[in-house]
A and B are shown apart, each in its own frame.
Chain A
Amino acid sequence: MNVGFVLPSTSRESKDVDVAIIGGGPAGLSAGIYATRAGLNAIIIDKGNAGGLAEDAPFVENYLGFEGLKGEELAKRFKEHALKYVEISEKNEVTEIKKEEDKYIIKAERGDYTAKAIIFATGTTHKNLGVPGEKELFGKGVSYCVTCDGYFFRGKKVAVIGGGNSGAIAAIYLKDLGVEPVIIEYKNHIMCENAYKRIIEDKGIKYITNAMVTEFKGKEKVEKVIYKDRESGETKEITVEGIFVYVGLVPISDLAKKIGVDTDGRGYIRVTQKMRTNVERIYAAGDVTGTAGQIIIAAGQGAVAALSAYEDLMLK
């Protein structure tokens, strides 16, 4: 049982700011600190809680200065730090952005904001696998969040689809909760970092490689995961009660696209080294730019984006 505390922030009113930062993950929070310290008036608007996908990470062991801590704890520290500088409006989804003369009008659930510049730190969301049964069994054993739903599978066997770092961490987290996970990876070798590979071996977590998952089966609830052994071509099945899908991420860039921001084929926002996009005074930082999906990189990009905004607004 977790008796930790996540603190709220209570900004409500509409505002006129220099820079609006959309998304309060590591990139957005870092951008908020840098923008304010540089002298810009900023606000961070987040549709959920500040913290971003970092909050989903059961533990983080590669953020400089922290040998190992829960993603939730790291996110809380980021947020507390940012709150010393910048207002964060949470549970406030941006629904529309329009350009009027040289300003951007941002419509959100809790109010309208006017900004000279926008930093998109909107991040990514978990990708669906796209196999039969996935949609139908969502909430009936299929899940995309181990910290949310892991508890329900204590004492039960589950499959973790995707053996990259996220999948590996998810499986380790599940094992520690008392769940029996088996990892299923498409590629023919172990895809996570060596550090996680060692833990997986130590904990005796089964890791199947070269397996293409083709279907999730079950009537009322998940019963089986079906996969094709890519080496033998044989179709195999594993009886499980839960399936956690960790097969990558998709960028949240629709709002940016609507105001003409250029994205790549997969929807990631194209940025320069200085985090500028093709649209004037619009920047992007963090996972939405399609780099590594690492907290430290997101935080660094947030800083760069804020400094570029400062250059463009104050020094030109």
Chain B
Amino acid sequence: MGYIQDKDKEYLKGEFDKNMKEEVKLLVFTGPNCQYCNVASAIAQEVAELHEKINFEEFPIDSEEAKKYNVEHVPTVIITDGDKYGGRIRYVGLPSGYEFSSMIEDIMDVSRRHADVSDEVKAQLDMIDKPVKIQVFVTPTCPYCPRAVRTAHRFAILNENIIGEMVEAVEFPDWANKWNVMSVPHILINEDVQFIGAYPDEQYIKYVVEAWKKMQ
């Protein structure tokens, strides 16, 4: 028996059939002493089996691919077209609970090679011409977190200088502690600008622009 229930699989199949356009790669990076690596890998595999355009690949943390995508923690799940998105849309830790829905939505956006934002937000995104890394600390039982994760990932889809990374704070307590994460979603941009909460795009982009401006 798999992790995803049959009725959920049926639902997801329907959604994928409606929304999948181009090929998507689900890259899962695993390593030793990793409590959730097997689960992350199994879940990604089960999702990939639901549609022919979703391709699952697993790599060890010491592989060339891990270097190529700058993967440092396991499990890491990357959703990519294998080309322009590189490793910019990523999950460090298991995308379970509420974050499972984020992963599914990401797959469909990556497949469309597009994400939706308003014209105003797009104009601000277009200004970002230097690397900006948005990290979103979450817990799997936080209903507000997927919105913050998806915003980071949608921004990453729309601008090649942006990396959107979910970090599962329960799996990486030391990492969360380092940034004093005590309420989620906790958003950290370029390890500098921080805010807490699931804000609308218009407010979120202001923090991204602030971090970018500090690099000028």
Q: Which residues of A approach B to under 8 Å, CB–CB? A: 1-10, 12, 48-49, 51, 55-56, 72, 80, 83, 91, 93, 109-110, 138-143, 145, 147-149, 151-153, 220-221, 242
- The A-contacting residues of B in range 89-109, CB under 8 angstroms, are 94, 96-98, 100-102, 104-105, 108
State the CA gap A10–B97 with chains docked (Å): 18
State the CA gap A121–B179 with chains docked (Å): 37
CB closest chain-B residue, reference A93: B200
**B164 / chain A contacts, CB cutoff of 8 Å:** none
Is A80 a contact of B11 with CB atoms below 8 Å?
Answer: yes
State the CA gap A55–B147 with chains docked (Å): 15
Contacts A51-B143, A147-B143, A153-B182 supplied; 13 other A-B pairs, CB < 8 Å = A3-B3, A3-B43, A3-B94, A3-B140, A5-B101, A49-B143, A80-B7, A80-B11, A145-B142, A148-B145, A151-B169, A152-B169, A152-B182
Minimum C-beta distance from B93 to chain A (A): 10
- The A-contacting residues of B in range 162-197, CB under 8 angstroms, are 169-171, 176, 180-184, 186, 196
B150 within 8 A of A: yes
Is B8 a contact of A149 with CB atoms below 8 Å?
Answer: no
Shortest beta-carbon contacts, A-B, top 4: A148-B142, A8-B101, A139-B196, A55-B143
Is A2 a contact of B144 with CB atoms below 8 Å?
Answer: no
B80 within 8 A of A: no
How many B residues touch A, CB cutoff 8 Å? Answer: 49
Partner among B8, B19, B105, B141 whose Cβ is within 8 Å of the Cβ of A148: B141
Partner among A2, A93, A142, A148 whose Cβ is within 8 Å of the Cβ of B96: A2
**B33 / chain A contacts, CB cutoff of 8 Å:** none
Partner among B39, B108, B146, B196 whose Cβ is within 8 Å of the Cβ of A3: B39
- The A-contacting residues of B in range 185-216, CB under 8 angstroms, are 186, 196, 198, 200-201
B127 within 8 A of A: no
B72 within 8 A of A: no
Partner among B12, B180, B182, B183 whose Cβ is within 8 Å of the Cβ of A7: B12
B34 within 8 A of A: no
State the CA gap A149–B181 with chains docked (Å): 9
Minimum C-beta distance from B103 to chain A (A): 9
Is B182 a contact of A91 with CB atoms below 8 Å?
Answer: no
CB closest chain-B residue, reference A4: B97
**B12 / chain A contacts, CB cutoff of 8 Å:** 7
B36 within 8 A of A: yes
**A147 / chain B contacts, CB cutoff of 8 Å:** 139, 141-143
- The A-contacting residues of B in range 13-28, CB under 8 angstroms, are 15, 18-19
Is B176 a contact of A49 with CB atoms below 8 Å?
Answer: no
CB closest chain-B residue, reference A83: B11
Is B147 a contact of A48 with CB atoms below 8 Å?
Answer: yes
Minimum C-beta distance from B198 to chain A (A): 7
Is A56 a contact of B182 with CB atoms below 8 Å?
Answer: no
CB closest chain-A residue, reference B39: A3
Is A7 a contact of B143 with CB atoms below 8 Å?
Answer: no
Minimum C-beta distance from B73 to chain A (A): 16
B116 within 8 A of A: yes
**B101 / chain A contacts, CB cutoff of 8 Å:** 5-8, 49
Is A1 a contact of B11 with CB atoms below 8 Å?
Answer: no
CB closest chain-B residue, reference A54: B143
**B8 / chain A contacts, CB cutoff of 8 Å:** 5, 7
Partner among A110, A138, A139 whose Cβ is within 8 Å of the Cβ of B116: A110
Known contacts A7-B11, A91-B147, A110-B116; A49 and B169 CB within 8 A of each other = no
State the CA gap A143–B197 with chains docked (Å): 11
Is B146 a contact of A143 with CB atoms below 8 Å?
Answer: no
Minimum C-beta distance from B171 to chain A (A): 8
Is A10 a contact of B18 with CB atoms below 8 Å?
Answer: yes
**B104 / chain A contacts, CB cutoff of 8 Å:** 7-8
Partner among A9, A83, A143 whose Cβ is within 8 Å of the Cβ of B183: A143
**B180 / chain A contacts, CB cutoff of 8 Å:** 140, 220-221
Minimum C-beta distance from B117 to chain A (A): 8
Encoded as 1 (CB less than 8 Å from any A CB) or 0, chain B from 37 to 64 comes to 0010001000000000000000000000
